[in-house]
Chains A and B, each alone.
Chain A
């Protein structure tokens, strides 16, 4: 028996060692120099920022690609890859000249031809890009560094479009990459941005590795928002894939990672107590909660019933239930985000102060028959989980019957594509949220589109708001644009197209020895120092 045991133990030991040898991979040498370890909200799986609207993929884009224009910390659009640009007197010919010394990661120069191909691919996928392309008559390459965008008629959002900060961002790619079918993912990760993606070291689900691009020539201006000099002050950045938020917090407290994009609000008190870390308000515009109605099926096909629902909304209830700490939220009845040029308060305290009696009267007038509205609740995105119970309570106070159905986010995003009534697997209402940078004007705000089937889920149809959006797009006078933005917001409230139910902020976390995290709509890793 002893022999058997010895043999067994020896076999186990040998097996362990052998398995170690078998499974050993010949990984590269450990990182040298200063390495910044960063944890994002979600796993980076798709590396084509034009193919998906996922924010983690957008962040990846900012590492390796550059943009023709970019917004500064005041959301003003500034030239980035572009040295200079000119507009013809009739505002139909835009001429862009690239900066000297721009190079792709493989050493080839960035050309006007590359940029034209990149704009075309982006314009085939992004809503704001599609709008721009509706106005584009043709592109002309003037020389290696200069190209023209010839418009059919003046368009007021040329620079806003090319400097669009959030998904999907018009990143510049080499022509051979940008020529990829817009509905297929690209295979190459060659850009001209301040970091170079390390394909061999990156392991999806584990980490993604970027090294400093030694040939990148930053602009001379100081970094501001997503514009200015993108000076990289570390040798390498590793995106660590860590889905468990508690684990992210443990890891940063233990000094194993340097930055977290956005920890959940309920863990912020733990972080505040630790002197080794600090909260960083890198995204001062924050986010906005949305309530979206299905305009195709009863009862929200009736505008009066949608209006009754909006009359029941009270932003503070949502914000208290989801975010909690008042320092991280703002009651804001402006569709295009408070603190921006297009911010206007909603009239009569709408969305801020509910009027349940008026809502009940509207329901009666509209002939609401008491059929329960199906409210989809996501239980897997912590920041959204508590929005649906608040809606249920508010709508019930207004006289609705509500059938709240809980599901994971992936099920919700699948079900929201269904146009059938709830009895056939459809839905009536759900919540989502947007990064504020995506909803700063009537064109980039997908919830404002009211073109039926071409609209975002909920599929509203409203020629009036579409006319206003078109006018906004064509208008080149900023003051007139503001008035048009207000008119769009007023119309959206009048028809109760959707509801914006609170602005909130999610600070990032950095180790105390990490400085220089820029204020921008996107977490960017240039300018950051690790001491």
Chain B
């Protein structure tokens, strides 16, 4: 059975989407989506345990062997990302019902769930496939469905946000497609393993260089690397709360995964880091992004937007880790990819709960919530401590590896800026804390109750996970390290 798991992983949400539409207007659409998400989480868990136990899994789609058919290839890195996507998909779906009921009109809800399913399909597909063109296909599935999801936000500005993302996202995908086309032209293959084998022979040609440039710009747009992040704050702010939570935790992370995969297992570290020395520019952009975007987060008056800017900064952390191109840096980057997914997912879910109860994610809406929504706000504080990188949270673990890698490579500016951005994180997290705990609620406003259990439980699971994996890192750091060593060519 495990042999068929790779394709099942993608098929479940793919088939779930039309089922949601068929379920039409009843509440069934939700339950179909939830069942598919949970099933998909189950499969992802099985895949990861199998990969960690017996090594990489190769699956030939439709029985067609590699150069002709599409190959799914699952190693430590992508099984880790698969789990992140499936886990967040399932937990967000668990929490989503009430939030979606309050934010999406009844007649559109089944479309909403169908789009969520397609988005999961796309993200899982990108992660699982071993075929460069297939990456593009799934990238488009994920992107198109997220344009729809964002446009469903209840403010009209959601349309503008979605349009902005549509333009930027399309440019990104097109660039990636051009890059893949150029690679195909030079090597005659689309299979990643084959590409890696044939590229060194033609690595000196201008075509490959150009394909690399197109790829880097395209993927940077997709993952909102500073300064190509313009679409992200609006998209996360105006999307329905459940969508913000899911996309913030997974979409950009999957794009980062694509970058890691292309850099290390297609172009190869020798080409990307020695010949082109992409670390210079990646590191510089990451650092500027980390500081500027953390600073920008401080000045936001909408908590969703604040978290969105913080996300752009955190993408910087991951990219910084990658740019070191050594085991500690890459381990830090990969583990932060997972850790940040957990933290941001948890934080956006607490905001979803606030939006559900208070009806706004404005900072002013948080006044007095420390008293009226004590559990939600406590979870927010815990998640926020993770963003700061307080010890015993996942944020600390990522930061430890990043700083260690920066000291190792003698990159003292990076050390200073990473530490500085932790301090900026203190400020933007504490702004919310002060509103929630020190500002009284307006007397005129209606009393607010604690979030419903269906939202609290998944949020609590995510937030507690950020603490569990901050204390017991054997599993997360273990997998990330294995992936880092593998990507760097097996020697540490």
* Co-assembled chains A and B: no
- Chain B residues in contact with chain A, CB under 8 A? none
Residue numbers of A with Cβ under 8 A of B are none
